[in-house]
Amino acid sequence: MEIITAKSAGFCFGVKRAVDTVYDEINKGGKIYTYGDIIHNEEVVKDLGEKGVTVINSIYELKDLSEGTVVIRSHGISKEIYDILKAKENVRVVDATCPFVLKIHKIVEEESARGKNVIIIGDRDHPEVQGIMGFSSTPVTCIKTAEEAENYVPERGIPTVIVAQTTFNIHKFNNFVEILHKKCYDTTTVNTICNATEQRQTEAGEIASRADAMIVIGGRHSSNTRKLYEICSEKCADTRFIQTALDLNRDSLDGVNCVGITAGASTPNYIIEEVQKHVRGTDF
């Protein structure tokens, strides 16, 4: 049986870096906190909890903190939270914000300091967008739908900078930018979308079109994993959605010549490896 595992399966660069950072800090010792779950994966968060890592869930909990190490996850945080952390003498901050997100913070901070209003194309409820908003010293508008772009009323005579949430859909972004350019005076647009998601989806589709059976690994509630499942199902009729190797009935792959494997952005490598072993028929 041929097994093809997507190179882009699982964690993107930024998430891997953040998760590795927490494990490195555990090895160094001391009390470790993460600001929010480091990743949307129950297994990883549970494992970290067992190793003594505590999740800080709100700004109020953060205010009570007096010592230890706080790791900032890949989505980043707002300037207000950085400032609260910095003011704490006995708290060490390890910033695992993805460099692509840090770049957006910098653009927003600099362009708003030049007097530009800020438009973020993305979901205002997402922590990454909330973090970005906090770097602006001028009014920020978040736009998630074409209707919101159509309804946007620019401030007369004020220039605008447009950025995007890193995981926003590129086609929608281009469409919204076109709408906004028609109505905004002096607009600077920076496409800050990260291509990790697109690469993962493209590769999954390519493998699914060659495979007789396709396995998509990821959390039940993970929207990017569901999207992968949809893409693969269109190319391969025998596509399966599993959370761990335990969900896969190995006997159902008997007689299959080529199995493809991919995984959503919050699936750790060890789960992908266990599935590979199980598909090969070895213990995991």
* Full DSSP string of 101-119: HHHHHHHHHHHHHTT-EEE
Q: Which residues contact 221 (CB under 8 A, 6 or more apart)?
A: 40
Is 128 an active-site residue? yes
Query: Residue 259 half-sphere exposure, CB side, CA atoms within 13 Å?
Result: 20
Residue from 6, 9, 12, 19 in contact with ligand F3S (CB under 6 A): 12
Token output for 150 = 């159509």
Q: For residues 54-83, which are near ligand F3S according to CB under 6 A?
A: 74
The closest residue (CB) to ligand F3S is 14
How far apart CA 269 and CA 44 sit, in angstroms, is 11
Token output for 54 = 């505590």
The DSSP symbol for 155 reads P
Counting contacts by CB under 6 A, is residue 100 touching ligand F3S? yes
Which segments of the chain are extended strands (E)?
2-5, 32-35, 54-56, 68-72, 91-95, 117-121, 140-143, 160-164, 187-189, 213-217, 239-242, 258-263
Closest distance of CB 197 from ligand F3S, Å: 6
Closest distance of CB 99 from ligand F3S, Å: 7
Token output for 208 = 């699914």
Q: Which of 25, 111, 128, 274 is catalytic?
A: 128
Binding map of ligand F3S across residues 177-196, x = CB under 6 A, - = no contact: -----------------x-x
Q: For residues 139-158, which are near ligand F3S according to CB under 6 A?
A: none
Token output for 140 = 């920020």
Residue from 53, 101, 161, 271 in contact with ligand F3S (CB under 6 A): 101
Counting contacts by CB under 6 A, is residue 166 touching ligand F3S? yes
Is the CB of 187 or the CB of 266 nearer to ligand F3S?
Answer: 266
Is the CB of 72 or the CB of 236 nearer to ligand F3S?
Answer: 72
- Total residues interacting with ligand F3S, rule: CB under 6 A: 13
Query: Site residues (CB under 6 A) for ligand F3S?
Result: 12-15, 74, 98, 100-101, 166-167, 194, 196-197
